[in-house]
Amino acid sequence: MCIYKKEVMTVELILKFLLSFGLGGLIGLQRERGNHPAGLKTNTLVCIGATLITLVSIEHFTEPHILAAIISGIGFLGAGTILNNQNKIQGLTTAASVWIVAGIGLAVGVGYYLGAIITTILSLLVLEYGKLLENKVKNNRHN
């Protein structure tokens, strides 16, 4: 392998991790501002970790089964954030945000950058304005 190609591959690898760090961090910051359990650190680490596992599976495994295992594992982690407290379910959005951040990390890992960026933007919109829309729908239902 020529040195130039190795340098380009190293730069691309670094960019993948930085993008994963930034996209996961954006969702984490939004969650942190709302004082939710899975905040900046959790979402950033999940996204970077998913990118790392994706890259390892691409480089070292011929079958992409590890990617499905990531999603299952994150689902298990997310399930642990869901609480049933006095007939009120809490933590579903936290679980969903951790799951979607893992997906963003997977997308960055395989080089699907546009999908990762679009998903981050849409996720931020849902997390930021979803409650406002939910409340509006509930108020219209009761009127």
pLDDT digits (tens, 9 = 90+) for 108-142: 988 999 999 999 999 999 898 888 877 887 787 67
Choice between 13 and 53, residue whose per-residue pLDDT is larger: 13
Instruction: Residue 38: give the domain boundaries.
Output: 3-142
Q: Please tell me the total count of domains within the chain.
A: 1
Q: Tell which wins on pLDDT, 52 or 104.
A: 104
Query: Which contacts (CB < 8 Å, 24+ apart) does range 92-97 have?
Result: 93/36, 93/127, 93/130, 94/31, 94/36, 94/37, 94/38, 97/27, 97/31, 97/36, 97/38, 97/43, 97/123, 97/127
For residue 139, the one-letter residue type is: N
CA pair distance 135, 114, nearest whole angstrom: 31
Number of Cβ within 10 Å of residue 16's Cβ equals: 22
Instruction: Measure the CA–CA gap between 136 and 143, rounded to whole angstroms.
Output: 11
- When the pLDDT of each residue in the chain is averaged and rounded to a whole number, the result is 82
Q: pLDDT tens across 74-101, in order?
A: 777 777 777 767 777 677 788 888 888 9
The residue whose two tokens read 């670094």 is 14
